[in-house]
Amino acid sequence: LKYFTVNLSPNVRILQDMEGSLTARDRVGIQDFVLLDAYTSETAFMDNLRKRFNENLIYTYIGTLLVSVNPYKELGIYTKKQMDIYMGVNFFELPPHIFALADNVYRTMISETNNHFILISGESGAGKTEASKTVLQFYAVCCPSTRLLDNVRDRLLLSNPVLEAFGNAKTLKNDNSSRFGKYMDIQFDHQGAAVGGHILSYLLEKSRVVHQNRGERNFHIFYQLVEGGEDELLRWLGLERNCQKYRYLIQGECAKVSSINDKSDWKTVQKALTIIEFSEKDIEFCFVFATHFSLFPFFIIYSCQLLGIPLNMLQEGLTHRKIEAKAEEVLSPFTAEHAKYARDALAKAIYGRTFSWLVNKINESLANKDSTRKTVIGLLDIYGFEVFDVNSFEQFCINFCNEKLQQLFIQLTLKSEQEEYEMEGIEWEPVPYFNNKIICDLVEEKHRGIISILDEECLRPGEATDFTFLEKLEEKMCGHPHFVTHKLADPKTRKTLERGDFRLLHYAGEVTYSVVGKFHLMQTVSLSLHTSDHFDDVMVRHQVKYLGLMEHLRVRRAGFAYRRRYEVFLKRYKALCPDTWPHWKGTPAEGVQRLIKHLGYKPDEYKMGRTKIFIRHPRTLFATEDAFEICKHELGKAPVTSDKRRLAFPEATKIETCWRGLQARKERERRAWAVKVIKKFIKGFINRNQPVSMDNSEYLAFVRQSYLTRLKENLPKSVLDKTSWLTPPPIMQEASVLLRKLHTRLIVRKYVRGISAQQKVQLQIKALTSYIFKGRKENYPQSVCQSFADTRININIRVLQLICPEGIKYSVPVIKYDRNGFRPRFRQLIFTQAAAYLVEEAKIKQRVNYSSLKGVSVSDLSDNFLILHVTCEDTKQKGDLVLQCSYLFEALTKICVVTKNHNLIKIVQGSVRFDIQPGKEGFVDFKSSSESMVYRAKNGHLMVVSPHNDKS
């Protein structure tokens, strides 16, 4: 791991890169704290930080560290133009910036083909999440780009709004606080192109699902869905557009926040889910589980359907505890309080698993399919250190994670510094600093740490309680300098502790944790920590202290303020010494020795290492830099012909001559190329209608490219636009036909994607209607423009009670003709899941099971008659049904959908035979005429006459 980055504080953020280098002084204050003369003074440190902050210079280095002060406002320093400025530039050539860090990591990764990581840490509200997004955006711009790589880039960027929607929430400190930890691998190929990624999430704050403190909200996704979700989606999910209806969303009493646009964020999440390849089924799964188990803790029947478990099993699990005693099982009812715990536990568990599933789906989308070796830049964004009035087990885990992070920070920074001095053979005295290993051991040490003791208590025989756990802690931790309880504290401290509390002295300060609820579900109450857009001295000073910034600065200065490789130092400052300017013939180390002797460096101001020069005091470096600036300007102002400049630049004339010659040769080559291209173009035009050959191949390629370019800018906007398609040249005739078909298909697909779920259902049903009737029944074209309805009549409540168990799928008014005399009767035709019913008001006249339905006959003319053929084995049974329906195509399509038999419809010509009863038959004759008529003919048949309809 070559790079280490830390993000800290609600107002302070640190990012560290292991590569050390020189920093030039900034116009406002000092842009590298290592060059601060009063480096031991915390006041001087704060003054420099404040001075730069007041001028909107939020970034400052501490040697290899980058400290940033959160301005809580937009500064316009993360634009594409800023990215271009920092791209490919040495780390310290420009003012401190997160782009400088990101670029240095990226370039070093490519040059060394090694993995690197950026670690972002800090208090809640420090801007850690924004920093990680800024780094991702920088890589999205600076990496090589192709269509495939752009897809990967878009998925990497758009995974953020999805994860933020499901994993971030408004807290008292931050309106977009990450409530989970995230480590993201960005995978690059050998050319530096982003080809994939992987996200590892941990420590999701599931307690927020069921409880929020005053002034806080649940996870963003719930409010986005309620405020921005489409009406149809909300109806399908059984939701109302009112957050006040849901207890899990309003405990913080701030469901709406002025700085958050839930409707707009919902659209962003929808777009992101589409781009990172979530199918409609995936999205449906995600929202069904996320909403119904978190917004509807009492919606138990629907919950059982989603879980696929019996109702009594879920009820029993939420209201009873199972006790096993030898071979017997006893159910003990919960108290109301314990039942609430069980309900909330289910909601949290389901949401936690949904979040894990979501991350896995995103990882599938980001997965790199290429098996060749890749280099990786890791990006770690974790919770900030948090202290509340009552701190739960979740807060304990979060703060311990930060404790481990601080330990890693200490080890890497001090270790790298010490290793460099040892490698270069430089003697130095170590600086004392607080090593938080003692706190880490207090929590995680085997058999003695807090976590081990908690495990033992949970597993031991007998009933473990909150206070038996506390007693065990007091027994094992008695006398530990970083642990205290009410029992172990002195009288003064005891007044600040409850009997169920223990207090840890973290690296960031004291935190009191409550053991109450360690063996049940826990809830937390937040304490507001005010932050604003001004420089908060108290807050910043606190963070500077607990982050160990002064110790780190002293470590850097205990050695040397500046170090540089000999060849780099000599290249920059060689003009300051006549012996080294303009060329030095010896080794770089000898040249540097000659140079600093000429500059008058004193022995205590520098050390010569094996490969680098180390300068102890900033003033020494400033004096050298000032001398270089004067020398540079003097040399630049001298005329070309002067002896002074000729001596300073003995090869200036030669360089100028070579440069002019190079420019002239380039111009000559450019003109020769232009002449060649023009000749080829003319020759190709003359032979454009000939077979492809050396004479016309490039011209024809130009014609193809030109046509495709113009076509791209003039594509038809709709399927109905038949005139906009550009006339192709002869060579593109066949390709134009294929492209037009493809474009039409894409327009249709884009239209389908943009329509609602209800419109999609309409299209599917219309497609089935077309499959059955197009070109086979005269009046089919008139049905295309008519929307199909879910039902055509309101069902009588008594009819509903009779057939409700089967579930009504469709109903429509019809005219039923008697089988013998063909007398018309007004009826309702109802389709359920199992059968078709013919109903008169509240009375069922006939029931036809789909299993006994042999088919449905219709004519090929423009009438609205249908005959339902029924299997009839008993003379007492009713026979086939002869019906007339104004919504013929809709009704016939619905019966095909309900019966799942698309071949049920039979289209006939002339006459249809039907069974009146077994052994007795009747006929319906169809013909066309000028007007519509229905009557009984002399031959006893039912004659149906319909107006002629031209099939064209």
pLDDT in tens, 470-492: 888 888 888 899 999 988 888 88
Is residue 641 one of the residues assigned to a domain?
A: no
Q: Are 155 and 338 in contact (CB under 8 A)?
A: no
Claim to verify: residue 230 and residue 187 sit in the same structural domain:
yes
Same structural domain, 732 and 768:
no
Are both 344 and 227 inside the same structural domain? yes
440/317 same-domain check: no
On whether residue 566 sits in a domain, the answer given is no
What is the bridge-based pairing of β-strands 116-120 and 375-381?
A: parallel
What's at 688, amino acid-wise?
A: R
Is the same domain home to 300 and 243?
Answer: yes
Please state, in angstroms and rounded to a whole number, the distance separating the CA atoms of residues 610 and 597: 18
Structure confidence at residue 533 as a pLDDT band (50, 70, 90): low
CATH number at residue 494: 1.20.58.530
Question: Is 129 annotated as ligand-binding?
Answer: yes
Quote the domain boundaries for residue 719.
703-754
Tell me the mean pLDDT in the region 577-590. Answer: 89
Query: What digits encode the pLDDT tens for the residues 129-178?
Result: 888 889 988 988 888 877 777 788 888 888 889 999 999 999 887 888 88
Task: Give the H/E segment covering residue 699.
Answer: helix 697-713
Q: For residue 500, what are its two tokens?
A: 């169920």
Same domain, 868 and 732: no
Residue at which a domain ends, from 381, 411, 430: 381
| Domain total in the chain | 4
pLDDT tier for residue 299 given thresholds of 50, 70 and 90: low
pLDDT band at residue 528 using 50, 70 and 90 as cut-offs: very low
**Axis crossing angle, helix 128-142 with helix 98-112, rounded to the nearest 10:** 50
Residue 859 lies in a domain: yes
Asked if residue 251 and residue 157 are part of one domain, the reply reads yes
Annotated binding residue 124: yes
78-117: pLDDT as tens digits: 999 999 999 887 676 788 899 988 888 888 788 777 888 8
User: What average pLDDT does the segment 272-279 reach?
Assistant: 86
pLDDT of residue 301: 66
* Domain-ending residue, one of 522, 539, 561: 522
Q: Are residues 411 and 377 in the same domain?
A: no
Do 293 and 151 belong to one domain?
Answer: yes
**pLDDT at position 622:** 78
User: How distant, in Å, are the alpha carbons of 13, 266, 753, 761 from that of 757?
Assistant: 46, 17, 9, 6
Q: Binding residue per annotation — 122?
A: yes
- Choose the weakest-confidence range: 203-212, 379-388, 579-588, 877-886: 379-388
* pLDDT at res. 64: 66
Question: Above 60 in pLDDT, residue 800?
Answer: yes
- Kindly indicate the confidence band of residue 524, based on its pLDDT and cuts at 50, 70 and 90: very low
Are 737 and 852 part of one and the same domain? no
pLDDT of amino acid 875: 66
The neighbouring-strand residues paired with 832 are 808
Classify residue 50: in a domain, yes or no: no
* SS3 track for 851-871: HHEEEEEEECCCCCEEEEEEC
CA-to-CA distance for 139 and 83, rounded, in angstroms?
9
Residues 135, 271: one domain?
Answer: yes
Contact 255, 196 (CB under 8 A): no
Identify the CATH number of the domain in which residue 844 sits: 2.30.29.30
Q: What's the CATH code of the domain at 278?
A: 3.40.850.10
Task: Report the percent of the chain where pLDDT is more than 90.
Answer: 21
Looking at per-residue confidence, does 570 or 300 come out higher? Answer: 570
**Whole-number Å distance between alpha carbons of 71 and 56:** 8
Dihedrals φ, ψ of 753, to 5°? -65, -30
Q: How many CB atoms lie within 10 A of CB 174?
A: 22
- Asked whether residue 830 is domain-assigned, the answer is yes
C-alpha 811/C-alpha 790 separation (Å) is: 8
- Across the chain, mean pLDDT equals 82
Has residue 932 got a pLDDT over 60? yes
pLDDT at 647 over 70: no
Q: Name the most confidently modeled range: 34-43, 416-425, 787-796.
A: 34-43
Residue 4 lies in a domain: no
Q: Is residue 137 part of a domain?
A: yes
pTM of this prediction exceeds 0.95: no
As a whole number of angstroms, the distance between CA 615 and CA 28 comes to 23
Residues 444 and 437: their CA atoms lie apart, in Å, by 10
- Is pLDDT of 700 > 80? yes
> How does residue 650 score in pLDDT terms, banded at 50, 70 and 90?
low
Q: Are residues 204 and 250 in the same domain?
A: yes
Confidence at 326, pLDDT banded by 50, 70, 90: low
Instruction: Consult the annotation and say whether 127 binds a ligand.
Output: yes
Task: Give residue-wise pLDDT tens across range 728-763.
Answer: 988 888 899 999 889 888 887 877 776 777 777 888
| Of 349 and 509, more confident | 349
Residue 504: which residues within 8 A CB-CB, separation 6 or more? 399, 439, 442, 443, 482, 483, 510, 511, 513
926, 946 in Cβ contact below 8 A? yes
| Residue that finishes a domain, picked among 522, 544, 563 | 522
Does residue 600 fall inside a structural domain?
Answer: no
Count CB-CB contacts under 10 A for residue 829.
Answer: 26
Handedness of CA 534, 536, 537, 542 (dihedral sign): negative
Confidence of residue 18 (pLDDT cuts 50, 70, 90): very low
| Residue 1 confidence (pLDDT) | 29
